[in-house]
A and B are shown apart, each in its own frame.
Chain A
Amino acid sequence: MGEGAPLTTAALAHVVVSGLATGSIYALMALSLVIIYNATRTLNFAQGEMLMISTFVGWTALQLLRAPLLVALLVAVVAAALLAWVLERTIIRRAISATHFDVLIITLGLSLMLRSAAGLLWTHDEFPFPSFFGSRPLGVGAVRVAPASLGIIGASLALMLALGALFRWTRLGRAMRAVAQNQRAARLMGISVERVYSASWILAAAVGAVAGVLIAPVVFLSSQMGLVAINGFTAAVLGGFGSMPGAVVGGMVLGVLENLAPLYLPASIKHSVPFLVMITILIVRPGGLFGRVAPRKV
């Protein structure tokens, strides 16, 4: 499919569905960035590397224990939660009173260290990762869809609904929303803000681990796969940073855009699409597609 080639509806549908699948992963990444941002008002640069490490741990469980894939997923989620808890308690918590700038630099340092550690432990090679889903394309009329795409979309949507329920109906979810709205008021209401910090890091890392296990069969498992976090950030900005529904929609839009762009633009531009989208959206509408820019306090 080159430039200007006529595109059948079926082929277009295929491109859009696989775009939605990539987009679901971006949405999960965006959600995990937003969860931490809402609690602590900082961006976690190491989010992608935490995803990568936990996926590697899950993969190691597969290799060593010959465990089924579902066990690997659980191992990855537990590893992610542990890693997040340790990092938050030992490093991030010390800097929480500092400026956002400091925490940003610290998470940047963490991302460098985690990637390097992964390279030392598991080398910088690419490894195949088994998938939950078959490889025979499913046909719906003339439209052919990869089961992996549908599976990723379905699993991500299920996780997003679970997150939504958690934020809406559980005590922890209410506490997290309260801290996001006004930290001081939340503290005065008896919410332990520190516990919310830890919970946010753990929750975000767990979401990232699921995203990692879902995407690893598609992009291969490697120490570089953490770079997906940049697209997650773009997705979150697209939907208005801080908004969870915005993060989901932003992820989907970005995934579809990225898959459609090579059909209409030179193929070499594909890698720049997320960055061009990010620069454009930041410059034209810094509040995101649906968001508003919050008024600044002195």
Chain B
Amino acid sequence: MRAAALGSGAVVVLGWPWAAPRYFVFLASLIAINAIVAIGLNLLTGYTNQLSFGHAGFLAIGAYAAAILTIRAPLVPLPATLLAAGLVTAAMGLALGVPCLRLEGLYLAMATLAFGFVVVEAILNLDWLTRGNDGLRVPAARIGPWALTTDTSRYYVVVTVAALLILAARNITRTRTGRALLAVRESEIAAQASGVHLAAYKTLAFVVSAFYTGVAGGLFALVVGFLSPDSFDVFLSVDFVAMIIVGGLGSILGSVMGAAVITTLNDSLAGFQSYRPLVFGAILIVSMLFMPGGIASALHKIQPRQGDRA
């Protein structure tokens, strides 16, 4: 049953570029990128209860790092560029995460919100590096002899990276580390009393979350091909929060589904820009009031767990 679901899922994902029109291939790439961010954010918010409204800032750092590296050093292969984007962003996550250890709840939310604003201002002011408001055009990336010029080739890169990061996240959450993170979420003091090094695990969550988002930023630069500061405003951070709320806090599968729902919705509302926030606000309120566990827990209720079956 499980294997069949996984298998058919894999067939759909791999066959997608042949079945779907070109634009939907691009859209699927965006979903995969947002899924990576949502997983990263969920590791932070869903697992250690640290709410961030600054993930658009992390995405921007990863995207600009990858774009500038591609422009300045065209010979660096794509995997190295993506890794570099992730590491640069993870370093920023460390720089923000350590001082933020003292904050919790709404204080942390506001500090990360402010971080997001400061990143956008920094991109505007560092125009010798980022070209400020004019935006930055990203040249096609290369893997060895191949230049990634088609939506399909970029789609496969994005999906491969997403699959690797999903597997990694599942491994993190199912081991001692994941259990420690969950313990931090349930009660910081109880976790500490059980021998969980609070500061270390909360910082780790910040760094891993920033790394995921940075890699996603690198993929964003690759897929979209053009970066400008206004693509990374605070509303993007709100979108990311909406993804994990709708999908389910503390669930990897939920993050992916939340990313798919919100990205598709965003795209279908593109022609109705003035109604978009109205719909998104309503979704946030309704899912908080009536579906607090998100799609993931709703699915759990419908489908009995393996142990429950006779």
Contact = CB atoms under 8 A, between A and B. Distances in A.
B304 interface: no
Interface in A242-274: 268-269, 271-272, 274
Nearest to A108: B284
A116 B111 contact: no
Contacts of B77: none
Nearest to A94: B289
Contacts of B189: 296, 298
Contacts of A112: 238, 277-278, 280-281, 284
Interface stretch (B35-43, B114-122, B173-181, B224-232): B114-122
A109 interface: yes
Contact of A95 (B99, B106, B281, B289): B289
Interface string A147-184: 00000000000000000000000000000000000000
A116 B275 contact: yes
Contacts of B131: none
A100 interface: yes
B49 interface: yes
Given A116-B275, A298-B190, A106 B285 contact: yes
A274 B115 CA distance: 11
Interface string A108-135: 1111111111011000100000000000
Given A272-B121, A298-B189, A283 B99 contact: yes
B175 to A, nearest CB: 26
B103 A101 contact: no
A67 interface: no
Contacts of A271: 117, 121
Contacts of B285: 91, 106, 109-110, 113
B289 A268 contact: no
Contacts of B147: none
A77 B15 CA distance: 59
A286 interface: yes
A268 B125 contact: yes
A282 interface: yes
A124 B103 CA distance: 35
A282 B111 contact: yes
The interface centre, meaning the residue of A101, A112, A274 with most chain B CB atoms within 10 A of its CB, is A112
B110 A109 contact: no
Nearest to A43: B106
A230 interface: yes
A83 B6 CA distance: 49
Interface string B271-285: 000111110111111
The interface centre, meaning the residue of A43, A110, A114, A278 with most chain B CB atoms within 10 A of its CB, is A278
Contacts of B118: 272, 275-276, 279
A105 interface: yes
A69 interface: no
A233 interface: yes
A194 interface: no
In the A-B complex, the 3 residue pairs with the closest CB atoms: A109-B284, A112-B281, A113-B281
13 contacts: A42-B106, A101-B105, A104-B109, A106-B288, A109-B282, A109-B283, A110-B281, A120-B274, A230-B110, A282-B102, A282-B103, A282-B107, A283-B100
Interface of A: 42-43, 91, 94-95, 98, 100-102, 104-106, 108-117, 119-120, 124, 230, 233-234, 237, 241, 268-269, 271-272, 274-276, 278-279, 282-283, 286, 296, 298
